[in-house]
Amino acid sequence: MQLLDGKSLAKKIEESVTLQAKEFKTRTHRVPGLAVILVGHDAASQAYVGMKKKACDRAGFYSVTHEMPDDISQEAIIKTIEMMNDNPNIDGILIQLPLPSHIDTTKILEVVSPSKDVDGFHPYNVGRLATGLDGFVPCTPLGVMELLREYNIDPKGKNCCIVGASNIVGKPMAALLLNANATVEICHIFTDDLKKHTLAADIILVGAGVINLIKEDMVREGAIVIDIGINRASDGRLVGDVDYDAVAPKTSYITPVPGGVGPMTIAMLLSNTLKAAQNHGENV
């Protein structure tokens, strides 16, 4: 069993992005810029945004966070996004999810300019991913692909079982693996007999938000397990969706939680923001 160390790879990617950002500044006399919209006071969202801000600072990016109250109107959020779409100092716009229930999340995501959609959630970028064209890819599944590449794990021809069908992780993960010529299966809350599907998989990728969903008897010997889940256990520990202690000895590779996929998500946000800045070049 070998750990897929996302923490060390994320550091390597961040160092590369930092160097490229310096070169970009020398060439264009500006730095990549990221704007975040944070609505409400969700503790997890605030923590994530804080981590993203620190990462931007380390990479030499310009970053700004628009903090908004829970009861803000949809129109006010849209107006702020449109302002950022027009701001030449902003290359990437990130809407921290989830949004309050009175806000139409789909509508908000559609307002973001596709060229600044560093989260890869705009239908334009979703469509480009589905058809194998270049665009912005959601950071978490993109980070998983980078992790596989780092450890020379080629998904081509492998049976991949994705557990969780969200727009943020499951669906784009499936598209990326399909584009890499893997055989892909997506399981979700309505899937009958999840164990039957996971046992047939060479690679299991789980992001369902359920502690210990994947048990030892659901994983075949030598499988690769990518735990994308992040949950707070009753004792305060951060844990994934995999019963790690029981499952790990059966695997050939496995991601730890924390320290696996999580750090990669922020590293890919930096990478996507740099890509947006390079695309915009001097002509923003």
pLDDT of 282 > 80? The answer is no
pLDDT at 284: 44
C-alpha 256, offset from chain centre: 16
The band of 44, judged by pLDDT with boundaries at 50, 70 and 90, is confident
pLDDT at 78: 98
The pLDDT mean for the chain works out to 96
Q: What is the mean pLDDT of residues 240-261?
A: 97
pLDDT of 200 > 90? The answer is yes
Q: What is the mean pLDDT of residues 208-232?
A: 96
The band of 146, judged by pLDDT with boundaries at 50, 70 and 90, is very high
Angle between helices 43-59 and 261-280 (to 10 degrees): 50
SS3 (DSSP) at 176: helix
pLDDT of 132 > 60? The answer is yes
Q: What is the mean pLDDT of residues 255-277?
A: 97
Per-residue pLDDT of 157-176, as tens digits, reads 999 999 999 999 999 999 99
Residue closest to 80 by CA, chosen among 70, 92, 68: 68
pLDDT at 283: 53
Alpha helix (H) ranges present in the chain? 6-28, 43-59, 74-85, 105-111, 123-130, 139-150, 170-179, 194-199, 244-247, 261-280
Which residues are catalytically annotated? 52, 96, 119
pLDDT of 38 > 70? The answer is yes
Whole-prediction pTM: 0.95
pLDDT at 259: 96
**Which residue would you say has higher pLDDT here, 238 or 153?**
153
Q: How far apart are CA 273 and CA 59, in angstroms?
A: 11
pLDDT of 42 > 90? The answer is no
Please name each of the domains of the chain with its CATH number: 28-115 (3.40.50.10860), 139-262 (3.40.50.720)
Per-residue pLDDT of 66-125, as tens digits, reads 999 999 999 999 999 999 999 999 999 999 999 999 999 999 999 999 999 999 999 999
Which two tokens mark 264? 């990669």
Q: How far apart are CA 59 and CA 12, in angstroms?
A: 12
Q: How far apart are CA 98 and CA 30, in angstroms?
A: 31
